[in-house]
Structure 1
Amino acid sequence: MTNGRTASGSVSLERTTPDFPGGPWRASWIWADGAPAAQRHVVALTAELVLDEVPDTVPARWCAVSRAVVYVNGVEVGRGPIRSNPRRQPYEVTDLAPHLTPGTNRIAVLALTYAGATPWYLPMPPFATDLANGAFVLEADLGDRWFVTDEAWSGSVLDGWGSTPAAGVSGRGIETIDARSLGSEWATDGVTGAAVVRRAHAVGEPGRSTPPSYPIGPFGARPISDLTTRPVELAAVDDTAWSTDRIVAGTLLVEVDGPAGGEVTIRVAEESIDGWPTPTEHDAAVRIVCDGTRRVVESLDRYGGQGALVAADDGVTVHAVSIVERLYPAGAHRFACSDAALETIHAVGRRSVSLNSTDAYTDCPTREQRAWTGDFVVHQLVDLTTSDDWLLARHNVRLIADSRRPDGMLPMAVAGDAEAVDFTIIPDWALHWVHAVWNLYRYVGDRDEIAELLPVVEGVVRWFEPFTDDTGLVRDVYGWVIIDWSAIDTRGASSALNGLLARAVREFAEMADWLGDTGRASWARARHDRLRAGFEAFWDAGRGRYVDSIVGRSATDSGERRTASEHGQAAALVGGVVPAERVGRLVDVLQASEGRVWATWSAPGREASPNSGLDVGGAYLRQGHPEPWWDVDGLVVAQPFFSYVVHDALAAAGRADLIVERCRRWEVALERCPTSWTETWFGGTISHGWSSTPTRDLVQHVAGVTPARPGFAMASIAPALGDLDWVDASVPTPHGPIEVWAERGRTVVDSPVPFVHRGTEYCAGRHTIEESQ
């Protein structure tokens, strides 16, 4: 199986899996007999496979409702399936041959059903089919026969395995594991008890035990790479505390012994104080019940943190605590420059995105682990500019598209509890998703892919039409218009939202043109013209900037001095709605060192300066925005996430040279956590991938490597060094890496594709370009 760089060094755009015969499934859905309904539970399933000799390959496909771990002769060979909308659930494909031996082999499965939504699991409708209470299916091609799940398997319900009710923002309870229900050698010895065939019977169907089964296909093989694993042992601080020097994320591994029935609870902590793990109500935990032996127990769910607190009953001893890191492969391309601090910032961003890359791009590995519709655009850009594996960068876009709503809008987070309850939407998050589609158009350049996604893009941009006034602006949009965690006034018509919409409409037009869809492209261009004309209402000529919002007809007709932010200026620039003569003024506004406002609605009346320790969230989420408490002549600063738009705005204004210095602002965040990025300048979690924009920027804007034509048919090389003496970068493309060395007056490029530099086209190959100072 190949996951990552191909033999030629180019990006892997398709997953290489063992060949698997097509056609209908032969295996039946099974589960352990006597399993409870409508609650989280875990079952063990086992079967023997007797072989005279082992074939060269034994491709197997399998799927589960909700999750499963597959073992061959005691060795883990797969975990899945990946999170998805159940109507688009893929199956896993695994080659069993490397783990089989002549004679008797044991295939074992630890499977669970969540029986309800979690941050990373979206259940099927509860009355859709009897599979909703748990099911597993596997079939393996032995060449001359098939090995399948059926009633010949054994199954056991694991008493005491489950979870306490979910609580808080994290949406998680305490995972419970009762070692008394499952012997330590179960994966090789097998279990007793019966497995039963699940007959998938939806309303109006005769029912059958083999996939496809409403609503699960499963629809094709896993489209992304397998996770890489790495055990990380935590160091004992004392008998009750275990720690490491950075955030790690994966399954929790605990070596414990104690009397049968003795309990130990391990509370994983995101943060520590002076090396001491300090869990909060948002952090998750595992409770283990001992079986009277010394053994190693592993969690089924995923945890993240840099330490753990242990509370054990008398007689229970914890000998070791580890995290088996399970992260998406993240082949890092080279970036170096004359400023070591920027190299560190680049590396920390790469690590932050890796911690939030599994079967989807997530917000944080320590608490929620939700796949938010807008957050991921930064994760995607980091992968597109630093990794040889673009499969997750593509799949995450489709994962979100699979959950589009009937009205054209996208859920605020997908394939989990937020989509299940659908209690609100984040309209601006859908516009960041459109930008992610546009990124795929530029970097991958797959016409079929963009043609399939373009109707979803159209649904998003047209969703805003009923909110459009006679000037072309959208106003009074319902839902949570977050923009970011800064104090941005979005009442009435929002400049940031309208600017992002203008960007999305332009990108829609460009992609439609590329596909030859002149009708949609023409509509989008006309829509952009109306937005550009209407956007003038935000201009405050007296102060020379765009205001955040207008409740009346213009920025000044109410007589009050409206707030302004980096967000509004930047969204206007990337949206292409700024008159040419005004661009320089907006650059000056964004770069001004005076009058910067550190404010968040989360903490009214307080300064939200870097590392001030304020909470993220707050009463305003239900009560609405308070009135500004700062001097409204100041400019509200963008948080790390929206800074990707600010930096793109400077590049669009022809001032990419300013981005180097702006990336240095992340140095202050290293004071809070030196190995992964804080959620906001002022606080929040300390492992948020959405804060990693400098990693992208140092490649796209400073080294200056971007696609000039879709799919990197031609590259653009435009280094913008700022005050750096030199930059050295390797940048992935579908055709192989582009190598760039840039110093003042000289750029050396080795490219597998033609490229353009300062308006001059060069053929593929190695070129040294001398420039006058």
Structure 2
Amino acid sequence: MSFPPAPHGDCTPAAPTCDYETIISRSPLPMIGLDGPAKTSAGPKPRTWLYPRAQFGRGALQALFSESRRTMCHVSYPETATPPALRALFRLRGHGTAVLVDATGVVSVEASSSSSEATASTTAETSFTPPPRVRHLKPGTTLCFHGEEAITLVVDAKDGQPPAICLAAPASRGQEESSTVLGERRNSLRDIHVETLLEGDKHWYPADIFFGGQAPPHATGEPVTEVELAHEDGGSLWVAPLPLLGHVVIDCPPGAEQPVLTAGESPAEALAGTEFAECHTDLKQVEPGRWVSRNRLGLRYVLVDGATASRVHVRASSRTFSRRGAFACSDERLTRMWTVAATTLGTCMQTLVVDGIKRDRLPWMADNAAAIGPNAYAFGDSRITANGIAALFLPQSGYVNGIADYTLWGVIALALDLEAFDDEALLAATAPELDEVVTSLLAMTNSNGLLYTTKDESSFPHTGPGAVFLDWGVEVAPQRTPTAFQALWYWALRSAVRVGAHLRSAEAPDAPSAGQLHSWEECATRVARTLNNAAWDHSTGAWREYVDGVSRPTPLANTLATLAGLTPLHAPGVETQILATSSGTPSMRAWALRALVQRGLRHQTVDELVRIWGPLVDAGVNTFWEEFPSEGEQPTQMYGRPFGKSLCHGWAAGPADLLVLAILGVQALAPGWEEFTVDPQLGELEWAACAIPTVHGDVCVVAERGRTTVDVPAGTALVRGAERFVGPARAIW
């Protein structure tokens, strides 16, 4: 093995000191609000919006889907997700007063309350049915609280929105509206506790708190920044400094004809004309000489025809990150690979983690699962992961995204989220659905524990028999049982047991019973036994393509069986198969490399990262693509369309966690990084460093030849063999 050669002599940057700001400075992220264009000045103080469990994510999905249908020329997205609830109860208790500022629908309370105030009472404590005599509350109504007595509000949502309310503390004298942030000490809502109840809930859940503006935050997208586009010298294109998602604004001389806009992620796409466009780029005039695209567009390049533009800018949507991670090393090519990967994912974090900013701009469960590792190492944003899982986890019909294996990825994602973020609120809120999902899957198993799903009209049209997808380019033979799918099923069962046991230890109200956990474990045992008997090829020491005792091994079967924990400790045949992976999406290629890391083949993992992602880095891309370029094909071609390929696709962000795992060996050992390990393998590198934004604080590591320094944040412990460093501490060896 050999890493790519590091720069030599004076070109080799020195190792940074082990502190967050220094490491961050070595790993610039050219993103809005980070190291790219600055955010616009702060506006009014954010308002506090409260949602029942899962409703923010479901509402955000509805908003994204409506926008996608309006914007995209080509979109195929199964409408299987559960829509937002029509009604919810909000139970408020505490001390003092609050103001009902707004809501997503009609808010009702018992009719006995006075006209300008709603006073706490003890009614409507456990029933979902609203009181028989109600009156509607208008914005501005004051809510008064007295001890343990509660006010129960009924919210009937409108226009397909989720039920939500906006609360504020009473305004101080001379102010229109005081701070609305829950937990602040003055003129705040810190003494008010809000719980919610949806139809079918067995008990009340804490409300989910989000901050937004006048409109509910599930529908408004990320904060907006104006980003100027530069006009090419002697050319026709306007160029953004980085890939953007937003509304294009064109300024022309007053009285000019309406311009024609073409936008693209590449110069060729922007120059190709509207007939090859992936998105509708029609404009509306907002004032004389100013035109704005009706839809948000994913782009880097813009062509304005039919009028002379004096200025073009984009009102770009960009997520705000309170902290972010970093990776840097003595090989600048690897450092740039990490920054491109992190930029790719961060740009695709648009209220939910969407597939791409050009198309389809929608969440898929397998993409969400694939993003958990990169997100944990690059941004530590547990909220967006939780919202994506909640939006998709329990479909109203069929499977998640219409794909049987995406339902399995949903269960796996819960366990991955537990390890990365230890998000107790997500696990508790999803517990009832976890039982429902696993129970429905168990009903489709045979006596050997194998899962046999069926395809119906709600399934994604590109799936194979049984609505099984696995990856683009994978074809499943009819009437055969793919090992890769059954390995995913085993992984999902083990994940369900892991999450269920955690819920029981936390005494969550909807935790699965001991009997349920036993049945899940028993099914997993049967699956493992069946696969070992019929899918393991003793002659090659690897996993067969099908559970049939005769088929040959394939890389995908070995990748997923290894990630699922099925592969024995010594299995060089499995490693050979994984290393032989020669096709697949960047998402599945990253999973294959995580399997190599799991097998201890870390040097080979870096070699594969350089071989697979390196050409795009060398080409100078700002973000990674939906699919790697293929020799002999137009680079941007996909789905039979010349510009169908997304050039900023979240599932391609695998290097964001893989580089840290493979080179520095930094990984969590307990939920939420309460315990972690560091085991550098520098190869030919002079040094490598990372900062990881965990829920407890930043884990900072600098590894040089002969010396490793680790900053251990409070609430965590670094485990190194028999040694244990409890934070806050600095470990050096």
Task: With the length of structure 2 as denominator, give the TM-score of the two structures.
Answer: 0.65
SS at match of 1:223: strand
Alpha carbons of 1:534 and 1:678: their partners in 2 closer, same or farther (altered >3 Å)? same
Who is 1:758 aligned against?
721
Alpha carbons of 1:228 and 1:722: their partners in 2 closer, same or farther (altered >3 Å)? farther
Q: Does 1:456 align with 2:438?
A: no
- Following TM superposition, by how much is the alpha carbon of 1:235 offset from its aligned partner in structure 2, in angstroms? 2.6
Alpha carbons of 1:716 and 1:123: their partners in 2 closer, same or farther (altered >3 Å)? closer
Who is 2:31 aligned against?
none
- Following TM superposition, by how much is the alpha carbon of 1:490 offset from its aligned partner in structure 2, in angstroms? 5.7
Q: Does 1:251 align with 2:250?
A: no
The 1-side partners of 2:599 and 2:521 are apart by 21
The 1-side partners of 2:310 and 2:448 are apart by 68
Who is 2:613 aligned against?
666
2:524 to 509, 528, 538: 528
8 Å contact from structure 2 (residues 80, 395) kept in 1: no
The 2-side partners of 1:301 and 1:63 are apart by 28
Alpha carbons of 1:528 and 1:279: their partners in 2 closer, same or farther (altered >3 Å)? farther
The 1-side partners of 2:100 and 2:423 are apart by 37
Who is 1:321 aligned against?
312
The 1-side partners of 2:82 and 2:700 are apart by 50
Alpha carbons of 1:280 and 1:544: their partners in 2 closer, same or farther (altered >3 Å)? farther
1:708 to 669, 694, 703: 669
Letter in 2 for 1:663: L
8 Å contact from structure 2 (residues 342, 653) kept in 1: yes
The 2-side partners of 1:327 and 1:539 are apart by 47
Alignment of 1:336-415 (within 5 A): 336-401=328-393, 403-405=394-396, 409-410=399-400, 412=401
Who is 1:588 aligned against?
576
The 2-side partners of 1:749 and 1:289 are apart by 54
SS at match of 1:524: helix
The 2-side partners of 1:144 and 1:649 are apart by 52
Letter in 2 for 1:301: N
The 1-side partners of 2:56 and 2:594 are apart by 31
- Following TM superposition, by how much is the alpha carbon of 1:322 offset from its aligned partner in structure 2, in angstroms? 1.6
The 2-side partners of 1:455 and 1:555 are apart by 38
The 2-side partners of 1:245 and 1:87 are apart by 28
Alpha carbons of 1:205 and 1:687: their partners in 2 closer, same or farther (altered >3 Å)? farther
- Following TM superposition, by how much is the alpha carbon of 1:353 offset from its aligned partner in structure 2, in angstroms? 0.7
- Following TM superposition, by how much is the alpha carbon of 1:466 offset from its aligned partner in structure 2, in angstroms? 4.0
Q: Deviations over 1:203-262 (max 9, x none)?
A: x999968672246412666637883443322233468542335422222222134548x4
Who is 1:690 aligned against?
651
Structure with the higher helix share, 1 or 2: 2
Q: Does 1:264 align with 2:259?
A: yes
Who is 2:422 aligned against?
445
8 Å contact from structure 1 (residues 236, 242) kept in 2: yes
Alpha carbons of 1:87 and 1:432: their partners in 2 closer, same or farther (altered >3 Å)? closer
Q: Does 1:309 align with 2:303?
A: yes
SS at match of 2:694: coil
The 1-side partners of 2:673 and 2:432 are apart by 24
Letter in 2 for 1:529: T
SS at match of 2:352: coil
8 Å contact from structure 2 (residues 48, 210) kept in 1: no
SS at match of 1:489: coil
Letter in 1 for 2:590: Y
Who is 1:515 aligned against?
503
The 2-side partners of 1:147 and 1:447 are apart by 29
- Following TM superposition, by how much is the alpha carbon of 1:300 offset from its aligned partner in structure 2, in angstroms? 5.4
The 1-side partners of 2:102 and 2:442 are apart by 52
The 2-side partners of 1:207 and 1:115 are apart by 38
Alpha carbons of 1:86 and 1:285: their partners in 2 closer, same or farther (altered >3 Å)? closer
The 2-side partners of 1:764 and 1:59 are apart by 34
Alpha carbons of 1:566 and 1:669: their partners in 2 closer, same or farther (altered >3 Å)? farther
Structure 2 portions without partners, runs of 5+: 1-19, 24-42, 88-96, 105-129, 139-153, 166-206, 213-220, 505-512, 630-637, 639-644
Who is 1:284 aligned against?
279
8 Å contact from structure 2 (residues 340, 624) kept in 1: yes
- Following TM superposition, by how much is the alpha carbon of 1:87 offset from its aligned partner in structure 2, in angstroms? 11
The 2-side partners of 1:318 and 1:711 are apart by 51
Q: Does 1:218 align with 2:157?
A: no
8 Å contact from structure 2 (residues 282, 294) kept in 1: no
SS at match of 1:341: helix
Alignment of 1:499-510 (within 5 A): 499-510=487-498
8 Å contact from structure 1 (residues 352, 677) kept in 2: yes
8 Å contact from structure 1 (residues 510, 521) kept in 2: no
Who is 1:85 aligned against?
58
The 1-side partners of 2:285 and 2:598 are apart by 61
The 1-side partners of 2:441 and 2:285 are apart by 56
8 Å contact from structure 2 (residues 616, 624) kept in 1: yes
The 2-side partners of 1:714 and 1:641 are apart by 27
Deviates more, 1:363-372 or 1:648-657: 648-657
SS at match of 1:651: helix
Structure 1 portions without partners, runs of 5+: 1-5, 10-55, 65-81, 91-111, 132-142, 151-201, 413-424, 598-636
The 1-side partners of 2:103 and 2:514 are apart by 51
1:482 to 463, 466, 469: 469
SS at match of 1:318: coil
Task: With the length of structure 1 as denominator, give the TM-score of the two structures.
Answer: 0.62
Deviates more, 1:384-393 or 1:279-288: 279-288
Alpha carbons of 1:495 and 1:438: their partners in 2 closer, same or farther (altered >3 Å)? same
Alpha carbons of 1:122 and 1:524: their partners in 2 closer, same or farther (altered >3 Å)? closer
SS at match of 2:433: helix
Q: Deviations over 1:77-122 (max 9, x none)?
A: xxxxx974349999xxxxxxxxxxxxxxxxxxxxx99998987999
The 2-side partners of 1:274 and 1:121 are apart by 27
- Following TM superposition, by how much is the alpha carbon of 1:681 offset from its aligned partner in structure 2, in angstroms? 1.9
- Following TM superposition, by how much is the alpha carbon of 1:528 offset from its aligned partner in structure 2, in angstroms? 1.4
Alpha carbons of 1:484 and 1:744: their partners in 2 closer, same or farther (altered >3 Å)? farther
Letter in 2 for 1:574: L
The 1-side partners of 2:731 and 2:82 are apart by 61
The 2-side partners of 1:396 and 1:546 are apart by 32
The 2-side partners of 1:123 and 1:767 are apart by 49
8 Å contact from structure 1 (residues 259, 290) kept in 2: no
Q: Deviations over 1:26-73 (max 9, x none)?
A: xxxxxxxxxxxxxxxxxxxxxxxxxxxxxx987756899xxxxxxxxx
> Whose relative contact order is higher, 1 or 2, with alpha carbons under 8 Å and at least 6 apart?
2
- Following TM superposition, by how much is the alpha carbon of 1:708 offset from its aligned partner in structure 2, in angstroms? 1.8
- What is the RMSD computed on CA atoms of the aligned residues? 4.4
The 1-side partners of 2:247 and 2:618 are apart by 28
8 Å contact from structure 1 (residues 531, 577) kept in 2: no
Letter in 2 for 1:272: P
The 2-side partners of 1:569 and 1:125 are apart by 34
- Following TM superposition, by how much is the alpha carbon of 1:307 offset from its aligned partner in structure 2, in angstroms? 1.2
8 Å contact from structure 1 (residues 231, 323) kept in 2: yes
The 1-side partners of 2:275 and 2:56 are apart by 27
The 1-side partners of 2:260 and 2:419 are apart by 49
